Every structure is written in structure tokens, then in C-alpha cells.
Amino acid sequence: KLLTSRRAPREHPAAPFYYFPCQRWLAVEEDDGQIVRELVPVDEAFVKKDSENEGQSPATLGLEQKAKSTTYTVKVKTGDKKNAGTDANVFIILYGSKDDTGTVSLKASKINKNKFERGKVDEFTVESVDIGDLKKIKIGHDNKGNSTGWFLEWVEIDAPSLGQCLKFPCGRWLDKSEDDGAIERIIFPAKLQTREYIPFVPYEITVYTSDIFGAGTDADVFIVLYGSDGICTQQKSLCLNKREQRMYFERNSVNQFIVELEDVGDMIEKIRIGHKGGGLNSGWHLDRVAIRRLLPNGK
């Protein structure tokens, strides 16, 4: 089988696996026509026998000793002024109490095809090692292109593993012919605009696509986890973009994801997994899902 992993898991203590068998289609034109299913966990023995036959056990699928990684959602607001947008290449550096991310190019906005346009908000995903509490950022551009000057309104950084969403107000030009001529700036968070919430935790989610004709999908696959007392996570897409959708969930493949989600507690009572349909190859035959909650640094 093909094993793919989008992110390296953090180091963590032993955590129990939860196994969710499916072995049904999630396809409009197959089975009962449903593209979303709720699955409940079964005893570990269900998967162990099957895994031994394949010569591969779920425990060996994790990339256990890889470096820790943290995901940040970075939103950038370009000001609503004449010529505020830029065609230059924009970069950011996040500085934490332990380390910094190094220079990260903000290349692919998840919202707009043409990024950093006047009055628009762009969103990016930044992954790095754990840098600790976020203290400041540096943001700037390389001054290349036809229209390089940029008016940056603010930057917002959401760090789910810290349970913090911080706002970095700027309201200045990054332009060699405007303001002080600087094209990069160091910005500190506005304490009164910091939003705090219960930190998210990482879950290792391993998805097994069946070995039958047409089992793979190019659709946007999502998941929701349910704990006790009605606690559940947000609906989360497992792929970051359409390229990953084309790469993952192929016939007879094993795809592993580390996803930061709301903490549903020690017991996962059920999951909801499905896809959003659309496209030429959306139908999917899901064999099973294995999930475990990872707690970094032995916490």
C-alpha cells in the first residue's frame, strides 16, 4: 500500500488507537447515495487480524520520532487605499519565545487567486517547529514586479495549539517611495485584540481507501470527531488544497494526517467523515479510519 504523510507528528506518549471500519461507498451513484457517514469505533482486534494479513500494522504507520510541528493560520489585510496592493513577493518571519520560523514566503492565498490586492484579506498556512509563545513578526517584500509598493493594514495569526489568535496592527506603507521608505517591518501584537480559547490538540488520522475498482476520490474529504457529552470538533478538511486532493485517497492507499482540532477528551465516541462531492472522480470507497489523540511533551 502507498503511505503518505502531510505533516510530521509531534513526539508523544503512547496513546490508544480508535478504529472506525466503514467498507462502504461514499458516492452519489453507489450504495445508498450518501457521501457522508457516521462511524463508531470497534475493538482493536477487528483491525489487528486484517493488518497482520497485510504485513502492516497501524502502529508502524506513524512517523513517530519526527520533529514537532505547529500550524499557524496567517491572515493578511491589504489597506483600502489607492495603489495599496502589491505584485512583489511577500515574506513573513514569526518570532516566538523559543525560536523563530525563519523566512516564509507567502505564495498561495487560500482565499484569493490574486493575492495582496487593495482592500482584500488573504489567508496562508505556515507550518514550523514549535517556536513557543508568539512575540512578534517581521513582514516585508522583495520590491520586485511592476507594482511593488504595499499598504499593510494588519496581520492576524491564529495558533490553535496555543489557543491564541493574535492581531498585529500595521497601517503603514511598505514602499521605498512612501512613508519612511522601509519595505519590511517588525510588528508586535495588540494585547487588547488577542483572543484566547482552549488550545487545540493534534490527532493522528490514518485513512485507508479500499482496494476495489474506482475506490479513489479527488473530492474534498472532511472529518468531525465526537467525544462524550456532545462535544465535537469543527468540520475539518484533511487536504490543504486541490493538489493534495488529487494526490491522496487513491485506490488501496493509506494516507496519514496530523490535524490540530478541538480537544474532545480521552474518548472518541464516533466520527463523521465524508466529502463535498463535485468533480469527475468524487465517489469514494472508504475501508476504515484509525485515529489517536497525540499529547506533546508528555502532557
CATH number for position 118:
2.60.60.20
CA-closest candidate to residue 251, choices 282, 213, 288, 221: 213
Same structural domain for residues 128 and 209?
no
Is residue 216 in a domain?
Answer: yes
- Residue 173 belongs to domain spanning: 70-196
Is residue 239 in a domain?
Answer: yes
Is residue 231 in a domain?
Answer: yes
Is residue 299 in a domain?
Answer: no
Burial call 199-226: b when 16+ CB within 10 Å, e when fewer:
ebbbbbbbbbbbeeeebbbbbbbbbbbb
The pLDDT of residue 48 is 54
Is residue 156 in a domain?
Answer: yes
Place of cell 489597506: 79
The pLDDT of residue 40 is 80
Same structural domain for residues 168 and 238?
no
Please compute, for residue 90, the number of CA atoms within 13 A of its CA located in the half-sphere on the CB side.
Answer: 32
Same structural domain for residues 90 and 36?
no
The pLDDT of residue 278 is 79
Cell (9 digits) for 106: 507567502
Whole-structure pTM value: 0.70
Is residue 5 in a domain?
Answer: no
Same structural domain for residues 167 and 137?
yes
Same structural domain for residues 286 and 188?
no
Query: What is the per-residue pLDDT across 110-158, written as a single tens digit (0 to 9) for each?
Result: 888 899 999 999 999 887 877 889 999 999 999 998 899 999 999 999 9
Domain endpoint, select from 175, 196, 217: 196
Same structural domain for residues 191 and 274?
no
- All residue ranges of the chain with pLDDT < 70 are 1-14, 32, 44-69, 296-299
The pLDDT of residue 3 is 54
Same structural domain for residues 39 and 95?
no
DSSP one-letter string for 176-206 = TTSTT--SEEEE---GGG-EE-PPPEEEEEE
Same structural domain for residues 78 and 147?
yes
Same structural domain for residues 192 and 75?
yes
Domain endpoint, select from 167, 196, 225: 196
Count up the domains in the chain and report the number. Answer: 2
Q: Are 105 and 125 in contact (CB under 8 A)?
A: no
Same structural domain for residues 275 and 190?
no
Same structural domain for residues 227 and 192?
no
The whole-angstrom separation of Cα 262 and Cα 83 is 40
Supply the DSSP symbol for 160: T
Domain endpoint, select from 144, 171, 196: 196
Same structural domain for residues 115 and 154?
yes
The whole-angstrom separation of Cα 165 and Cα 73 is 9
The pLDDT of residue 52 is 44
Is residue 64 in a domain?
Answer: no
Task: Name 44's Cβ contacts closer than 8 Å, sequence gap at least 6.
Answer: 17, 19
Is residue 288 in a domain?
Answer: yes
Bridge partner list, 174: 150
